[in-house]
Chains A and B, each alone.
Chain A
Amino acid sequence: MNYDQRLQHVSVLGAAGKMGSGILLLTAVEMADLSLKPENKGKTFVLNAIDLSNEALSGLFGYLHTQVTKMAEKKAVMLRQLYADRDDLIENYDIINQYVNDVLALVRPTTALEVAYKSSLIFEAVSENKDLKVKLFRQIDQHNENKSWYFTNTSSVPIHILEDEAGLKSRILGFHFYNPPAVQRLVELIVTDTTDNEVKQFALNYAKALRKVVVPSNDFAGFIGNGHFMRDALYGIKQAEELAGERPFVEAVYMVNKVSQEFLVRPMGIFQLIDYVGIDVVQFIMNVMNPFLKDEELHSSLLDKMMKLGVKGGQLSSGAQKDGFLKYDRGAVIGVYDPDKQAYVDVDSFAAQCDEVLGALPASYQPWKAAVRIKDTDGHFAPYFAEMKGMDSLGAKLAINYGKNSNDIGRKLVSDQVAHNENDVNTVMLTGFFHAYGPINNYFA
């Protein structure tokens, strides 16, 4: 079975979810492009969009239509060539519409798992629940005559566990997209000891066709991305809890968020990032990862507490941020949650005072937006953090410690053999988390 044949009959499990819908979109477009190649004329391409939720599936075509249209508009030059022999399609408008129709025509939304029995490739993006994933894999594989390949999007379950428990020896790998898959360029690729090389090669080709940046990760719970993020989040929470010994909790959260964003020049502060991913998701991933880790406790009672109070963060389906640790107004932080009062406290009421305590940013500070564009990363950040180290303010101290810790997490991912090398860790954080500099560096020594 060659690349095109492998992609002739595909199923996406959890296709109506956040990740599944994006994977569905990218796969549908790739399949449509294959189906339009002259040598594939007359062949049928099928992409099953399988999900439990009929309600969610009913919104899927609207989403696909909008997204495929945008993608088609961007590649109209190429599409005109693709449809050069269609005399009835003349204007860009005609051609783009036809392409959107052709992509959507491949997609079959359904709640019936049985349709996957005929697929030769299965993308899995159902809820992060090992037993659920295993159950679905087993059921499909028992009835599937194609010795189908399985690409799971799990964020935290080691792939070999899924492989063993579902009996998928050599035919499964982790193809870990970042959220949202259509936008984020990073994919972590995780093979097990037995994954067939042919499966891996296909995955690399598929990633290339999707123009993704692939970083291989070893098969350890959390892989590289969450391996860093979860520990980084716990460190931020710890810093805040320590600060909260001397000052109100809301101020501590505000300060650590500010340090991790501005002083460390990241796109978001750590509490905003936790809210963005969802407090529930972070807690959940820690719970899934934790049993696989030795000598380390990946757990936060603060997250448990927030969950009990029903404060979860995450995003609305419109993409708007829901309130979590922080309260947002059109993207801007306007309040911090006080678990004792069970209410948000206005940032304005304490920000100035906290900023004063933290102290000024180094004179060579460049905000993240400008800093990500700087080509000579070392040339900017080495002197920036050197300047910070020479400062006596609380903000500078917290930031240096924070940076050191992030650096340690990165190096440990390499020494624990989660990542193959330091460069891979940095690529994940630069590409998947949009950091302006890699966590593994010499700025904080």
Chain B
Amino acid sequence: MKNMRRKVYMTAGYNTISMGTGRKEFNPKKERPGLEYYIKEAGQGVLKQAGGADKVDESVIGNFMSARFNKQAHLGGFAGAIDPQLEFKPSLGVEGACGSGGLSLITGIRSILAETADTVLSIGVEVQNTVKAIYGADILAGAGYYDKRKHGHAYFFPGQFSDRAGVYYEKYGHEYARKGMCRWFVNAIENARLDPTAQEYHNTIPDLEGLYHKMTPNGKAFVDHLNVLDCSKVSDGASGIVVTSEEGLQRMDIDKKDAVEVVGWAQLTRNIVNEPPNPVELTTIKTAAKRAMEMAGVTIDQIGTVETHDCFSIAGILAVEALGLAAPGKGAEYVAEGNTSRNGKMPMNTTGGLIGWGHPTGATGVHQAVTLWQQLTGKAGDAQINIPADRPYGLSINMGGDDVTVVAIVYKRG
């Protein structure tokens, strides 16, 4: 699709806390709220701003692996638990690994464009702290090709991206790369400290850089080329937002300035059975971002802020290159020089991203949309950045698996 046949907006975003290690309230030994709680909190948080469930035509719930983390599948059935008025209306669950949240948004966008709905409640959710990390790694490995699991790493996905990092080190220099990755981590934590729902909100460690460099990757205990600070968090959380049309905004009595317009999008997959074509390129992200920007008719210079899928710091660096912000091999430098920090040329992941805010896998895509909605409408609180008037766009990149499913969306101030 080249052009949008109808205007699509997003509004009324809501994030639960991203719960897990790092949060003071988190105690792995105590019982915690489960899937249903998070779906309800996010859903009701949205509905309150949207003026009630009667304004909503349908619901979509994005989730990756509740069938294993929580022994619960069939999440579409929870719409009625959010509000009785959502019962007996369309509702479905969508899955695309860590890109599930993005698919939830895309599903909403498609419904609006198909004119089968004017307001879609889009939710993403994951509750992962139900198992220890070593078993969580098994579950998350489902985002890869199962035939490769046997010879993959105990920590499968960290293993995949550690391999990518290893090649990057070899090609462009180890110290050079680690410098950029360290800065990526520091930015993530510093941004998270400004958002009360972020998992690293309580982080007070004074010397983040020192801490990062002290933790030399150790392949015997974890993976060869990454330390745990290079990784996103294990999180419980949900996010929600309304995807809507102009009619929908009127119905909810929401002003356009409190909404963002979706001006371009792309959702692509790469063949999961194959290895990525190039270990130091996120090819699917590159392609999806390009198409989304083409649809929007904008170039990367017009984008004011980006939310990208930094499941690992190296994925952040490679995304910088895939988006064309830096040439191949120059991403680490671009980040190390502060260009992606909140006051830099291109502020990225301004509420902490997956490393700082948290990564409730199936929720992440929706969380990115909520952050961009907040930033573009001036609702980001302490985390608010300045969006230049000549760059009123935001871009989100949500990835499932090792660059397999990608959702790229371009937003414009409403």
Contacts and interface: CB of A to CB of B under 8 A. Distances in A.
Interface string B122-143: 0000000000101101100100
Given A77-B154, A77-B222, A93 B149 contact: no
Contacts of A6: none
11 contacts: A73-B132, A76-B154, A77-B219, A77-B221, A80-B153, A80-B154, A87-B150, A90-B150, A92-B137, A93-B135, A96-B134
B220 interface: yes
Contact of B138 (A77, A87, A93): A93
B257 to A, nearest CB: 50
Contacts of B135: 92-93
A96 B154 CA distance: 11
Nearest to B151: A84
Nearest to B141: A91
Contacts of A96: 134
A5 to B, nearest CB: 28
A78 interface: yes
Nearest to A72: B134
A76 B134 contact: yes
Interface size range on B against A = 10 to 19
B132 A77 contact: no
Given A77-B219, A91-B149, 12 more contacts: A73-B134, A76-B134, A78-B220, A80-B154, A84-B151, A87-B150, A90-B150, A91-B138, A92-B134, A92-B137, A92-B138, A92-B154
A361 B154 CA distance: 49
A76 B134 CA distance: 8
- For A77, A90, A92, which residue has the most chain B Cβ atoms within 10 angstroms? A92
Interface of A: 73, 76-80, 84, 87, 90-93, 96
Nearest to B136: A92
A148 to B, nearest CB: 35
Nearest to B220: A77
Contacts of A73: 132, 134
Which 3 residue pairs of A and B lie closest in terms of their CB atoms, listed nearest first?
A91-B138, A76-B154, A77-B154
Interface in B40-71: none
A84 B141 CA distance: 17
B179 to A, nearest CB: 27
Contacts of B150: 87, 90
A234 B220 CA distance: 46
A211 to B, nearest CB: 13
Contacts of A76: 134, 154
Contacts of A78: 220
B65 to A, nearest CB: 13
Contacts of A92: 134-135, 137-138, 154
Contacts of B132: 73
Contacts of B155: 77
A80 B152 CA distance: 9
Contacts of B149: 90-91
Contacts of B154: 76-77, 79-80, 92
A375 to B, nearest CB: 14
B153 A77 contact: yes
Interface in B142-172: 149-151, 153-155
Contacts of B151: 84
Contacts of B221: 77
Contacts of B220: 77-78
Nearest to A81: B154
Nearest to B149: A90
Contacts of A90: 149-150
Contacts of B137: 92
B217 to A, nearest CB: 12
Interface in B216-247: 219-222
A233 to B, nearest CB: 34
Nearest to B146: A90
Nearest to B155: A77
A168 to B, nearest CB: 39
Nearest to B156: A92
Nearest to B150: A90
Contacts of A79: 154
